[in-house]
Amino acid sequence: MIVYGGDWNPEQWPEEVWAEDVALMREAGVNRVSVGIFSWSRLEPVEGVFEFGWLDRCLDLLAAGGVQACLATPTAAPPPWFGHTYPEALPVDADGRTLHHGSRQAFCPSSPIYREKALRVAEQVARRYAGHPALAIWHVHNEYGCHNARCYCDTSAAAFRAWLRERYGTLEALNDAWGTDFWSQRYGDWEQILPPRATPTFVNPGQQLDFRRFSSDALLDLYRAERDLLAEITPDVPATTNLMAGMHWDMDYFSFGPELDVIASDHYLIGDDPHVHLAFSADLARSLGGGRPWVLMEHSTSAVNWQGHNRAKRPGEMRRNSIQHLARGADAIMFFQWRASRAGAEKWHSGMVPHAGKDTKIWREVVELGALLKGLAEVAGSTVAAEAAVLLDYASIWAQDHPAQPTSNLRPLEVVTEWYGKLWELGVTCDVVHPESDLSGYRLVVVPSLYLVSDAGAANLERFTAAGGVALVGPYSGIVDEHDRVRLGGYPGAWRDLLGVTVEEFFPLAAGERVELSGGGAGTVWSEVAHATTAKVLDTYLTGEPAWTRNTWGEGAAHYLTTLLHGDDLRRVVAEVCAEAGVGTSATPGLEVVRRAHPDGRRYLFAINHTGAEATVAATGVALPDGTPVEGRLTVPAGAVAIVRETAP
Ligand code: GAL
């Protein structure tokens, strides 16, 4: 079964609506809803007083209607009494401002009081509904750290110090890692260490980086605490929490991934090429679970309400979005939210049941999508095999986020998504993985922008290349160690040998400035004076310095770019490197083609046509869900999707 549904928030509606909701869910083919996510103030209206009657009735209705519950612990939104009774548990920002209730996630992640109250309500929910026929999976919290990723209060400061003691053991080691002899920051006592609160000027980069690591760990620790509690009470019910893969960068999702029974992630359309960003997010979500099928816990049927201009989806767009996620390994397609709210901060966010009711594009498309997913049940459990990987590390992004860098215009996430976009255009399905993960299954590894890399990560790429892989490394990668200390002796210190290049100085370009290349292209944002040691130079600046190099390394080769390329210039390099690695297909522009397969060999081709014209792709098998034979060529109408169970060649 492909799971289909969304967040159901019955507490926002009079009880008469609930039965109608479940009837509509059946009509739409909805088989699972997330419920109770923001219900803490209903479940525990007064501290210590629990009221479950209403949720009992909701879950009973779901069970009777054959709809599963992805039942939430309501801990993402503490009720007003919480902040009033325990003001010391409210989050505090870097400027010392306390953030109050009135929205959601108003708690300090390191607060023992918050943890105690959250675990208490989670335990009540778990004991109440353990064994309930609707209960299928736990939805722990909601989007950890979406609004309170870092807290700078005194409680957090003490927890940060404890985390640092654990990490470094001695103050000497910490002083060394952070380079505290710079600007007289040497610590003589653990108690002197603070979170990176507002300072007169640039804060210590090591301190900032470790605080981000600590903050991510604090949230992960909260997840673990709830998950462990739930596992004690309902050992057979899996648990997850909805990540925001590719959308949110404050938590190290590579550390969350292994802790979730199934990866769940949320995605909303953003940027100029929203479907490319969607693919990136889906590939990252899949990679966080080591390739296992994952849950798309939220996306939108149409407009969201939190962008400056909230674009409504055109007819057919929601279906393309959903099938893109499915193609990239999701076994569940869910939305925020079931019924569009009448009141509250998200009343202008689309839902599966819009304000205007059933006679609408949205409702018709919701029903059609439900029918389509029902017809694709056999796809569930199949997986995506990627030949290429993009390396990404949250710590590197955090380190580069320090304001004192050679340029603030070299933005790693922009580079990563731009490079990913070229691979997408070339039809290369990629995993998005941590630099220290097993790379042996890939033929191509691209490293668009990885300022920080550990020794282990650096050696990993060398090993991959030596074993016959092809690597493509972007500028300002491999520059610092895991403490954000420069790797000396010529940049990029981590990969000087692998790339056969040594860089003596960076020359960041001004806004709008370009550096022409002898091959006809041009770079922006960044340039550097590099010398090829063992590498062959494939393209140069007009001054003769290397712009693109290739170095043989063991059985493989490592390419390096010393400037940022875009458009066709970047495409040419990526295409050449793909050809050398033997990955990619002859992609039709705008026709996204991805495959999933079962271990028994059943294989599915997904084709999503993002263009306004009919497109074709080679395929043989039967079209799903209707079983029409496909002989040699599949035609996908403009804006449509097609799925084929391929006949083994
Ligand atoms: C998510 C969140 C939902 C809702 C949605 C709106 O971040 O989990 O509760 O706020 O965004 O797009």
Give the pLDDT confidence of 97-107 residue by residue, as tens digits: 999 999 999 99
CATH fold group of domain 591-646:
Immunoglobulin-like (2.60.40)
At 377-389, the pLDDT tens digits run 999 999 999 999 9
Name the residue with the closest Cα to ligand 1, atom 3.
336
Share of the chain above pLDDT 70, in %: 100
Name the residue with the closest Cα to ligand 1, atom 4.
336
* Nearest C-alpha neighbor of 458 from the set 497, 431, 514: 497
Q: How confident is the model at residue 506 (pLDDT cuts 50, 70, 90)?
A: very high
Mean pLDDT of 616-638: 97
Any atom of ligand 1 within 6 Å of the Cβ of 336:
yes
pLDDT on residue 586 = 73
C-alpha 369 to ligand 1 mean position (Å): 21
Mean pLDDT of 621-634: 97
C-alpha 336 to ligand 1 mean position (Å): 6
> Domains of the chain: which residue ranges?
241-380, 388-581, 591-646
What residues contact 201, with CB distance under 8 A and at least 6 apart?
Answer: none
Any atom of ligand 1 within 6 Å of the Cβ of 436:
no
pLDDT on residue 73 = 98
Any atom of ligand 1 within 6 Å of the Cβ of 281:
no
pLDDT on residue 175 = 98
| Tokens 């798309």 sit on residue | 296
DSSP code for 587: P
Q: Which of 34, 247, 336, 349 to mutate to test the pocket of ligand 1 (most atoms within 8 A of CB)?
A: 336
CB 105 within 8 A of CB 60: no
Q: Which of 40, 296, 334, 346 to mutate to test the pocket of ligand 1 (most atoms within 8 A of CB)?
A: 346
CATH fold group of domain 388-581:
Rossmann fold (3.40.50)
Closest approach atom of ligand 1 to CA 142: 8
CB 215 within 8 A of CB 109: yes
Any atom of ligand 1 within 6 Å of the Cβ of 266:
yes
C-alpha 326 to ligand 1 mean position (Å): 20
C-alpha 274 to ligand 1 mean position (Å): 17
Q: How confident is the model at residue 238 (pLDDT cuts 50, 70, 90)?
A: very high
C-alpha 9 to ligand 1 mean position (Å): 12
Any atom of ligand 1 within 6 Å of the Cβ of 143:
yes
* Nearest C-alpha neighbor of 90 from the set 148, 157, 162: 148
Catalytic residue among 11, 44, 298, 528: 298
Taking all residues of the chain, what is their mean pLDDT, rounded to a whole number? 97
| Tokens 């209903």 sit on residue | 42
Mean pLDDT of 527-549: 98
Any atom of ligand 1 within 6 Å of the Cβ of 349:
yes
CB 587 within 8 A of CB 615: no
Q: How confident is the model at residue 584 (pLDDT cuts 50, 70, 90)?
A: confident
Q: Kindly list the distances between the CA atom of residue 576 and the CA atoms of 273, 475, 581, 620, in Å, as whole numbers in the listed order.
A: 23, 18, 9, 29
pLDDT on residue 314 = 97
pLDDT on residue 20 = 98
100 C-beta neighbours (distance < 10 Å), count: 13
pLDDT greater than 80 at residue 90: yes
Closest approach atom of ligand 1 to CA 304: 12
C-alpha 300 to ligand 1 mean position (Å): 9
Distance CA 411, CA 421 (A): 16
Any atom of ligand 1 within 6 Å of the Cβ of 304:
yes
Mean pLDDT of 260-273: 96
Which helix (H) or strand (E) covers residue 619, if one does? strand 615-624
Q: Which of 34, 139, 143, 281 to mutate to test the pocket of ligand 1 (most atoms within 8 A of CB)?
A: 143
Distance CA 276, CA 264 (A): 19
pLDDT on residue 587 = 86
Name the residue with the closest Cα to ligand 1, atom 11.
336
Q: How confident is the model at residue 272 (pLDDT cuts 50, 70, 90)?
A: confident
At position 569, the amino acid (one-letter code) is: D
At 53-78, the pLDDT tens digits run 999 999 999 999 999 999 999 999 99
Name the residue with the closest Cα to ligand 1, atom 5.
336
Q: Which of 240, 241, 295, 298 to mutate to test the pocket of ligand 1 (most atoms within 8 A of CB)?
A: 298
At 413-430, the pLDDT tens digits run 999 999 999 999 999 999
Share of the chain above pLDDT 90, in %: 99
Q: What is the DSSP string of 259-301?
A: GSSS-EEE----SSSHHHHHHHHHHHHHHHTTT--EEEEE--S
C-alpha 279 to ligand 1 mean position (Å): 19
Mean pLDDT of 40-48: 98
Question: Does 298 qualify as catalytic in the annotation?
Answer: yes
Catalytic residue among 143, 418, 482, 592: 143
C-alpha 306 to ligand 1 mean position (Å): 9
What residues contact 2, with CB distance under 8 A and at least 6 apart?
Answer: 326, 331, 332, 333, 373, 374, 376, 377, 379, 380
Which helix (H) or strand (E) covers residue 591, if one does? strand 591-597
C-alpha 143 to ligand 1 mean position (Å): 8
Q: Which of 8, 33, 266 to mutate to test the pocket of ligand 1 (most atoms within 8 A of CB)?
A: 266
Q: How many residues does the chain have?
A: 649
Helix axis angle for 16-28 and 53-65, nearest 10°, is: 30
Question: Does 143 qualify as catalytic in the annotation?
Answer: yes
pLDDT greater than 90 at residue 486: yes
pLDDT on residue 649 = 60
Mean pLDDT of 222-248: 98
| Tokens 């709008």 sit on residue | 512
User: 266 — phi, psi (to 5°)?
Assistant: -115, 145
Name the residue with the closest Cα to ligand 1, atom 9.
336
C-alpha 519 to ligand 1 mean position (Å): 46
At 458-477, the pLDDT tens digits run 999 999 999 999 999 999 99
C-alpha 134 to ligand 1 mean position (Å): 24
Any atom of ligand 1 within 6 Å of the Cβ of 333:
no
Any atom of ligand 1 within 6 Å of the Cβ of 301:
no
User: 461 — phi, psi (to 5°)?
Assistant: -70, -35
Burial of residue 191, with CB atoms counted within 10 A of its CB: 0-12 exposed, 13-18 middle, 19 or more buried = exposed
Any atom of ligand 1 within 6 Å of the Cβ of 338:
no
Mean pLDDT of 14-22: 98
Structure tokens at 290: 């080591």
Name the residue with the closest Cα to ligand 1, atom 12.
304
Q: Are strands 444-447 and 470-473 parallel, antiparallel or unpaired?
A: parallel
Domains 388-581 and 591-646 share a fold: no
pLDDT on residue 628 = 97
At 351-365, the pLDDT tens digits run 999 999 999 999 999
Burial string for 537-567 (b: 16+ CB within 10 Å, else e) reads: bbbbbeeebbbbbbbebeebbbbbbbbbbee
Mean pLDDT of 112-128: 98
Distance CA 109, CA 164 (A): 17
pLDDT on residue 81 = 98
Any atom of ligand 1 within 6 Å of the Cβ of 264:
no
Q: How confident is the model at residue 155 (pLDDT cuts 50, 70, 90)?
A: very high
